[in-house]
Structure 1
Amino acid sequence: MNTLGKSDLNVSEISFGCMSLSENQAQADALLHKAYDRGINFFDTADLYDKGMNELHVGTALKSMRQKVVIATKVGNQWRPDGSGWDWNPSKEYILKSVEQSLRRLQTDYIDLYQLHGGTIDDPIEETIAAFEQLKEQGKIRWYGISSIRPNVIREYVKNSNIVSVMMQYSLLDNRPEEEILALLNEHQISVITRGAVAQGRLLGKKEGAYLQFTSSEVTKAAKNIGKLADDLNKQKIDVALAYVLSQPAVASAVTGIRTAEQLDEATKALKEWPQLTEDQLVELRQQVRTFTYDAHR
């Protein structure tokens, strides 16, 4: 377990990404209960997923163990009335309205971690922060964070808010956070929750092709290096891929998308078996891929 930033939330190193959870409630119940029994206590959803139904499935599944789990959800994407898509809305009014709907769907009196689901530097950031602070004072949320990869947005929240976490994409094949953001957040005792640690399965050899700025051959090379180190350590590829991100001091948990029992087995095995990589091993993995940085929103 790791403490999430300056909060009192203790979260498992591997967290359950609920976005792809089955719409069958019985299946969702079984999978989430099994995850908890195997050591996962941190479950991440969003009001955007399946137009709120994902929150309902998660809330129903976890209701009987509410006090034992950490539930995170997100806000800021407003579905259009005709269901054709969503628009960005970080206003205080919208956040205060949306939290009531999330609480109702999650069937709980409080949300452990409420996250802004995106954000730009042009947002009314002071207003957004005020909404989260008000909800915290009211006891409707325990803590809040943001989900963003934009350095300029992250810096604003670091300076002006009491966020305890930032969710961001980070993996061996997306090393952009290593330029400055990981160190900045660690310095301010703000935890990182990673997503995409296996690069959509490419680092596990489950999917081929280019990824972000990397060519297909570069992706294959990175996956082979992950595999080689896994073999040397008598581990699985997922153990090493997750260990790469979890080795960063700022990282508290790696969200892993789980939909099937097989994926849960893989994730919970990794939870118990991910290796503590040495500095030499980390450097060797890192030297095999090109460095690139965020070229926008800096």
Structure 2
Amino acid sequence: MQYRLLGKSALAVSEIGFGCMSLGNDDTANARLLHQACDQGINFFDTADLYEHGQNETSVGKALKDRRSSVIIATKVGNQWKEDGSGWDWNPSKAYILSAVEASLQRLQTDYIDLYQLHGGTLDDPMDETIAAFEMLQQQGKIRHYGISSIRPNVIREYVQRSHIVSVMMQYSLLDRRPEETALPLLQQNNIGVLARGSVAKGLLVNKPATPYLNYSAEEVSAAAAAIRELSSPERAAAQTALKFVLQQPAISSAIVGIRTSDQLEDALRTAKAPALLPAEIERLQHALKANVYDQHR
């Protein structure tokens, strides 16, 4: 497993991160899977207080409690569940963040969170108030670093200018190259790490039948998947080829893979051992279909 510094932080994260959202409700099975990931070199685990009404954090906390010093735990805040549990409201206020972190710390059974991320964001948010909350938590030692999870270039630009974020989590794959236009160059220039999610595009690049995706037609999706298959081999299967395309983008620190089973974990781990894509191979993938761009939040 290779490790990369996350932006300006001292966090050396595994190039394959464990997306905990996909975990089930069996704490024992989850612990077995998380321990297997740790033993194989994955040290970055991403969850959120939103997932399963906080039960995801609880399960992750139970599993990693005895391995706390060797793992990097990331969670997210900003989506507040309604009292009746019917949904959630967006709440990036300072008061809510300072309250929510205490609940996350308790569920995760830890005294600190390595990376605390705002789970979204808009230009209408009280951004200075939000940033002040993260800065206060950092000063108090309750979080080591903070970042945002956002695909909105206009929001990302504001946080780059106004805060000390060390990371941005965003969707990025061969079927979603929108970050390439402005976000990835900006973040690389400012030494802010990118945590990529959705790298196999819901399986469309690997094994699922082609359907329309973002602004691409089913035919275009099929062409992208075919390009992935053509560059795959026994040493680098389709999933690893899709992930390598993401990981070889210089701005990316880690690809966060949703993992629910041991087979999925082993598939993700094989990416670390798979041969790198040659420059000509990356170019072939890039020419498989026209790169898309953001049409909102620019």
* Shorter-chain TM-score tier: over 0.9
Partner of 2:66: 64
Whether 1:244 and 2:248 are equivalent positions in the alignment is: no
Shift of 1:112: 0.2
- 1:104-136 Cα shifts (integer Å, max 9, x gaps): 000000000000000001100000000000000
CA contact (8 A) 2:147 2:168 kept: yes
Alpha-carbon separation, structure 2, partners of 1:91 and 1:124: 7
Alpha-carbon displacement from aligned partner over 1:67-87 (angstroms, at most 9, x marks no partner): 000000000000000000000
Residue 282 of structure 1, CA deviation: 1.2
Give the structure 2 partner of residue 284 of structure 1: 284
Residue type at the aligned position of 1:175: R
Aligned partner of 1:41 among 43, 46, 71:
43
Normalising to structure 1: TM-score of the pair?
0.98
| Counterpart position of 1:254 | 255
Q: How far apart are 1:215 and its partner, in Å?
A: 1.0
Asked whether the 8 Å contact 2:224–2:289 carries over to 1, the reply is yes
Tell me, yes or no, if the aligned pair for 1:205 and 1:220 is still in contact at 8 Å.
Answer: no
Task: Choose from 188, 191, 213 the match for 1:189.
Answer: 191
Q: CA offsets per residue over residues 224-250 of structure 1, 9 Å max, x none?
A: 11011113x841111110111111111
Q: Which runs of 5+ in 2 are unaligned?
A: none
What's the secondary structure of 1:71's corresponding residue?
strand
Q: CA deviation at 1:265?
A: 1.2
Q: Secondary structure at the match of 1:43?
A: strand
Q: Distance in 2 between matches of 1:289 and 1:113?
A: 35
Which of 167, 172, 180 is the matching residue for 1:165?
A: 167
What residue number does 1:268 align with?
Answer: 269
Q: 2: CA distance between counterparts of 1:206 and 1:292?
A: 21
SS of residue paired to 1:285: helix
Write the letter of the residue equivalent to 1:122: D
Q: Distance in 1 between matches of 2:33 and 2:10?
A: 26
Q: 1:79 aligns with which of 63, 78, 81?
A: 81
Is the CA contact (8 Å cut-off) linking 2:244 and 2:271 kept in structure 1?
no
Structure 1 residue runs of 5 or longer lacking an equivalent are none
TM-score, structure 2 as length reference: 0.98
Alignment of 1:80-159 (within 5 A): 80-159=82-161
- Kept in 2, the 8 Å contact 1:200–1:207? The answer is no
Give the Cα–Cα distance (whole angstroms) in 1 for the partners of residues 72 and 19 of structure 2: 12
- What is the aligned counterpart of 2:222 among 217, 220, 223? 220
Q: How far apart in 2 are the matches of 1:281 and 1:72?
A: 33
Cα RMSD of the aligned pairs, angstroms, is 1.0
CA–CA separation in structure 1 for the residues paired with 2:58 and 2:280: 45
Identical pairs, percent: 59
**CA drift at 1:208:** 2.6
- How many corresponding residue pairs? 296
Distance 1:154 1:207 in 2: 33
* Secondary structure at the counterpart of residue 222 of structure 1: helix
